[in-house]
Amino acid sequence: MIELLLKKRNGFQLNREELASIIDGFTSGSIPDYQISAFLMAVCFKGMTPTETAHLTDIMMHSGELIDLSGIKGIKVDKHSTGGVGDKTTLILAPLVAAAGVPVAKMSGRGLGHTGGTADKMKAIKGMSLYMSNEEFVNKIKTHGIALCTQNANLVPADKKLYALRDVTGTVNNISLISSSIMSKKLACGADAIVIDIKVGHGAFTKTIEDAEQLANMMIGIGAKMNRKVIAVITAMNEPLGCTIGNALEVKEAIDTLQGKGPKDLTDLCLELGGHMLVLGEVAKNQHEAIEILKKLIDSGAAFEKFKELVSSQGGDLQVIEQTALLPSTQFSETYKSTSEGYISELNALNIGLASVKLGAGRETQESVIDHGAGILLKKKIGDYVTKGEALAILYSNNADNFIKATELMNLTYEYSQEKPIEKPLILKTVF
């Protein structure tokens, strides 16, 4: 292992056998965390070639069992986001697309760094179980047209261990590690087509459109080698998506959106991504037709009914869904107020995400326990005019001491201007 570390540190390419020895050794426990941490850091500094990345993806994909969805009628479509702040799109998209008749097979992970994870958000629903066998996963899709799971011990175990280690070693932000992690899970889950939402901006791991396009092309290339159709949508993440950051808060906002009462940016993004999923699933001929179908499913209540079906089928308490005041809450809250007057011109999503972690909504170590009620409710966003002393956000936590560090980060988050800023697009580019 030391020889392989030195080889990667010095910028040389590792072959398939060498990468397999690293991943197999880590999965079995024969290679310790500290050596894998060194390997991950070397990859971040020296990078990996497309060939190395493809090998790594395939090795991780085959580190456990593969799910066979061929017995399920229709084109099975999956969706993934590279991680953002306030990104609760899966909670909306999965039932919305399933309500349109496209089977959705979704594996979701927990939060990474300052970004929230779908698994953490769904666990805010009392009784909700995301852990299931591969057979249970397939049967739920057959019965309900949708299932949402986390990785079990037999499914891509290599990525599960790497995913947790990257989160706490500062090695999340690398195109090869991101793409191999995403695609190994998606390919192992057996979906026929995949829509990838690549976030770009302050609150994303990808900072430039150029890097996002590189990531998109890498994942599309991996998908093509495995006979999977992949579409990547590059979207802005300079301010949080929607108005909530934190697990239970985001569940409530997702429910509002499924009922047609969600914020515009979140609704528009779900319609855009969902439209691509319907076209890939061949229930719509084009994006315009697909979006009209999705709007009708929201207006009719069918999308929300499918969400309730998903929750009920996985043990969740429907009373919590129908009465969102029963979702986890916190003992303490503080109002964060503006110290200036003018239009909000910048709302740094990274600082908001880090503040939510300080409040307890995310993890700072692998062992950190999530406070499902903690988080931030934004009262104002970019383009809104505020006066001095006006409420910008409400902070929630079960530990009053957490507000000090969270407020320090909030103080770095806002910038103001006397002229209303030009509205920037949410959808930046679509890569096929």
Q: What per-residue confidence (pLDDT) applies to 363?
A: 79
Q: What per-residue confidence (pLDDT) applies to 112?
A: 61
Residues 254, 317: Cα–Cα separation, whole Å: 16
Residuewise pLDDT in 10s, the chain (432 residues): 999 999 999 999 999 999 999 999 999 999 999 999 999 999 999 999 988 999 999 999 999 999 999 999 999 999 998 888 999 999 999 999 999 999 999 888 766 666 778 889 999 999 999 988 889 999 999 999 999 988 777 888 999 899 889 978 989 878 899 899 989 988 998 899 999 999 999 888 788 999 999 999 999 989 988 889 999 999 999 999 999 999 999 999 999 999 999 999 999 999 999 999 999 999 999 999 999 999 999 999 999 999 999 999 999 999 999 999 999 999 999 999 999 999 999 999 999 999 999 999 987 766 678 899 999 999 999 999 999 999 999 999 999 999 999 999 999 999 999 999 999 999 999 999
Structure tokens at 135: 């057979």
Is the Cβ–Cβ distance between 87 and 270 less than 8 Å?
no
Terminal C-alpha separation, the chain = 38
Q: Locate tokens 């969102």: which residue? A: 324
pTM recorded for the entire structure: 0.89
Residues 213, 209: Cα–Cα separation, whole Å: 6
Q: What per-residue confidence (pLDDT) applies to 172?
A: 83
Task: Quote the Cα angle for 214-275-258, to 5°.
Answer: 115
* Nearest by Cα to 245 from 421, 388, 409, 104: 409
Q: Output the CA torsion 249→254→256→257 (10° steps).
A: 140
Domains, in order of start, for the chain: 2-47 (1.20.970.10), 77-322 (3.40.1030.10), 329-417 (3.90.1170.30)
Question: Considering 121, 166, 228, 252, which one is annotated as catalytic?
Answer: 166
Residues 193, 210: Cα–Cα separation, whole Å: 24
3-state secondary structure the chain: CHHHHHHHHCCCCCCHHHHHHHHHHHHHCCCCHHHHHHHHHHHHHHCCCHHHHHHHHHHHHCCCCCCCCCCCCCCCEEEEECCCCCCCHHHHHHHHHHHCCCCEEEECCCCECCECCHHHHHCCCCCCCCCCCHHHHHHHHHHHCEEEECCCCCCCHHHHHHHHHHHCCCCCCCHHHHHHHHHHHHHHHCCCEEEEEEEECCCCCECCHHHHHHHHHHHHHHHHHCCCEEEEEEEECCCCCCCEECHHHHHHHHHHHHCCCCCHHHHHHHHHHHHHHHHHCCCCCCHHHHHHHHHHHHHHCHHHHHHHHHHHHCCCCHHHHHCHHHCCCCCEEEEEECCCCEEEEEECHHHHHHHHHHHCCCCCCCCCCCCCCCEEEECCCCCCEECCCCEEEEEEECCCCHHHHHHHHHCCCEEEECCCCCCCCCEEEEEC
Question: Considering 108, 176, 179, 181, which one is annotated as catalytic?
Answer: 181
Whether 80 is catalytic is yes
The residue type of 336 is: Y
Q: What per-residue confidence (pLDDT) applies to 82?
A: 85
Residues 172, 177: Cα–Cα separation, whole Å: 7
Question: Considering 159, 192, 197, 265, which one is annotated as catalytic?
Answer: 159
Q: What are phi and psi of 111, to 5 degrees?
A: -65, 150
Residues 6+ apart with CB under 8 A from 38: 5
Whether 371 is catalytic is no
Is the Cβ–Cβ distance between 105 and 126 less than 8 Å?
no
Residues 6+ apart with CB under 8 A from 220: 230, 231, 232, 431, 432
The residue type of 383 is: G
Whether 140 is catalytic is no
Whether 159 is catalytic is yes
Whether 16 is catalytic is no
The residue type of 344 is: I
Question: Considering 140, 144, 185, 252, which one is annotated as catalytic?
Answer: 185
